Structure 1
Amino acid sequence: MGDETKRDSWFVRAAAAVGDLGNPFYREERRRDVWNEASAVGFQLMLWLGLAAAGAMIWIGGPPALPYVLVVIGVVGVPSLVSGIYAARLGVRATEGARMSWWRMAPVLVLFLVMAAGLLVRGSSDGVSASTVWGSWRAAWPSSG
């Protein structure tokens, strides 16, 4: 598929409209590059803070916080998914040619594990239970089985 065809897909056009990519601001290359780097820093910070907030919410709030935890996970997860899909639709894979270093991934993994442990330990009134995860899945996607 040619580059122009990729740019004409409904998904890429919608993402460009949401990102206001036709704005004259993006015409100057240095400005665009600096903004892209700043956006990447802010995006990563949003991911870290979102995972930290979700973990804190479930540990502090217990079972009543579960719906809010799921919302926070969605708020940080959906933009991550959309960013990856957008890049892939334009022929760029985020993991291509990149070396993932464990020390850079460690904070995200720690935050994710704290949140996951909180979901298992504090996510239900009876403590550690797989029913918490299953119940969350069924609440979010009732028709999935």
Structure 2
Amino acid sequence: MTVFLKAARVIGDLDDEFYRDERQRDVWNEASAVGFQLTQWVALAAAALLPWLAGRPGAWTAIGILVAWFIVSIVTQLYARQRDVDLYATAKLWRPRSAAAAALYLVGVVGIFLRLHYDSEPFENDLATWAGRITGAAVALALLGGGFAWNRRRTRRRRAEEDARDALEP
């Protein structure tokens, strides 16, 4: 067992007698998933609203919230991967809820950027600024398209491997 998994067992108190009962463990895992998702949504909503409603202090607070949100998300995925569960191989990633979460995240990031960068000076609209915005948007869209294509290939490959495995089983 890796150091990461040992630390996760301690943080999650996974060796408690409570987990020995199968039904309790299943219900608690579902409840934890609901709590985790609710925490994710609250963090994204707070980070999206704070820069717009509370100015610069809200922007700094939103950065802290997004950093915590990111760390918790990554640790959750790493734990699953350490236990041989790959979210990206089995889950349909771009659903309406994923798009809503991405939109909240982007509203927060844009709000943070505008509050911290432009709060003391006017929002510039010269030709070079617009060229940078358009170039950045094009690069972001290209990366997003590449990510979608990569995910589709990965999903097709996983399904083909599963079909091949199923064909070999009696």
**Residues 128, 55 of structure 1: alpha-carbon distance in 2 compared, 3 angstrom cutoff:** farther
Q: After TM superposition, what 4+ stretches of structure 1 lie above 4 angstroms from structure 2?
A: 127-130
- Aligned residues of 1:48 and 1:108 also touching (Cα < 8 A): yes
**Residues 105, 20 of structure 1: alpha-carbon distance in 2 compared, 3 angstrom cutoff:** same
Match of 1:22 in 2: 15
Opposite residue 4 of structure 2, the aligned amino acid is F
Give me the TM-score of the superposition, normalised by structure 2: 0.65
RMSD: 1.9
Distance 1:127 1:16 in 2: 50
Picking from 58, 61, 71, the partner of 1:68 is: 61
Q: Deviations over 1:98-121 (max 9, x none)?
A: 223422313212211221221233
User: Percent identity among equivalent residues?
Assistant: 37
Of the structure 1 ranges 52-61 and 98-107, higher mean CA displacement relative to structure 2 is found in: 98-107
Picking from 41, 45, 49, the partner of 2:38 is: 45
What is the count of residue pairs matched by the alignment? 123
Opposite residue 98 of structure 1, the aligned amino acid is A
**Residues 79, 70 of structure 1: alpha-carbon distance in 2 compared, 3 angstrom cutoff:** same
Is 2:75 the counterpart of 1:115? no
Picking from 78, 86, 97, the partner of 1:93 is: 86
Give me the TM-score of the superposition, normalised by structure 1: 0.76
Q: Deviations over 1:4-61 (max 9, x none)?
A: xxxx111100110010000011111111111111111111110111011111111112
**Residues 29, 43 of structure 1: alpha-carbon distance in 2 compared, 3 angstrom cutoff:** same
Higher helix share: 2
Distance 1:102 1:61 in 2: 31
Unaligned runs of at least 5 residues, structure 2 = 130-170
Distance 2:67 2:33 in 1: 19
